[in-house]
Amino acid sequence: MISYKYSIVISALGFILNLIVNGVFLYLTIFKIKKMHGTYKRMVITFTVLGTIFSAWEIIAEPFAHNFKNSLLYFSCNTWLGSKTWLRYMLAMWSGCHTLIIWFIAMQFIYRLVCLIDTNNIKKLEGIYGYLMIIVPFVIGGFFAVMVETLIAKDKMLDDNLRKLIFENYQLLISELPKYNITPYNLDGSVNWGNFGLLVIAVFLNSLGYLVILYCGVQMHLNMKKELAKLSISNQDLQRQFFKALIAQSIGPTIFLVLPMGPFLLSPLIPGLNINWQSGWIFCLVGAYSPFDTIMFMMIVSEYRTLLKNRVGYTVSAATPDYRTQDPATTGVQTN
């Protein structure tokens, strides 16, 4: 069996990719892009920074997970940060980031829909309401992180049930791990309401976020033609690009976060399930979602494509000498 320690290396590579891709994107967005303004620009920048922080947080918390029957053990592999309490908190906050990301995308959809229906709303959302749209996802993500810490009580009997399994698979002592043992059913078959409730909250918050995304996306599609007719041709094209970029931004977290983790999160709710999975390997995909979103955004929005093409063209031309204009005496080329 492949050592779980390799997952840390993959996560580190994902973080490096985040720094490179998101660094270029942030530089262009902050200093070069002229057609993105105000609240939406702040939302795009915040979302990109959040993706990088999320990847960095993974390197520190070193989260991993194991599904065994109806138990989901969510633990930290970190051995260099001394405090187990802080590592538990970091695990809780890292899990809250999943919900935060989904709701941040949902808020961007709400913003684009509201501004599409009435362009006067753009000015209204430049003040306190615009900042609230950025803050709300952090509140929802923070709420879920608190629920993780509050609802999952330490249970020695549940831990003992996984003691041998964890030692055989990871050579770790479960009693020494910063962890959350999410087991919705007790050993006698009764419901553990704290753990069961946490899984229900997770499904509810994430599903509601996707319902908001779906509703706003459909409404934008249905109203796009009518509302864009009120704008100039160039502005119509820009708004279509932003809409496509927003759709692409929702694809990244869906592919790399929600779909892979969904089965592992929901499986403990199924009574009598007999599984034994090292599900923490799925966390290695986390570092890929933000660069994927960023690259898609830059490919779709023409202003980014133009800036990148010009920059690459300038770099190539600067690095390539033009022999046609150089003095043969200086290039060592003889002429008749």
Q: How confident is the model at residue 148, as a pLDDT?
A: 96
Q: Classify domain 6-303 at the CATH class level.
A: mainly alpha
pLDDT tens for residues 130-162? 999 999 999 999 999 999 999 998 888 888 889
Supply the pTM of this predicted model: 0.88
Give residue limits of the domains in the chain.
6-303
Digit-coded pLDDT (tens) for 92-117: 999 999 999 999 999 999 999 999 88
pLDDT of amino acid 330: 37
What local confidence, expressed as pLDDT, does residue 319 receive? 52
Q: Are 178 and 76 in contact (CB under 8 A)?
A: yes
pLDDT given at position 127:
86
pLDDT for position 318: 55
Name every residue whose Cβ is closer than 8 Å to that of residue 284 and which is 6 or more positions away in sequence. 7, 10, 11, 14
What are the two backbone dihedrals, phi and then psi, of residue 251, each rounded to the nearest 5 degrees?
-75, -40
Q: At what angle do helices 38-61 and 6-27 cross, to 10 degrees?
A: 160
What is the pLDDT at residue 322?
52
CA 100-131-116 angle, 5° bins: 90
Rg, C-alpha atoms of the chain: 25
Task: Collect the ranges in the chain with pLDDT lower than 70.
Answer: 1-3, 313-336
Please report the pLDDT score of residue 332 as a whole number: 39
Give the other-Cβ count within 10 Å of 321's Cβ: 10
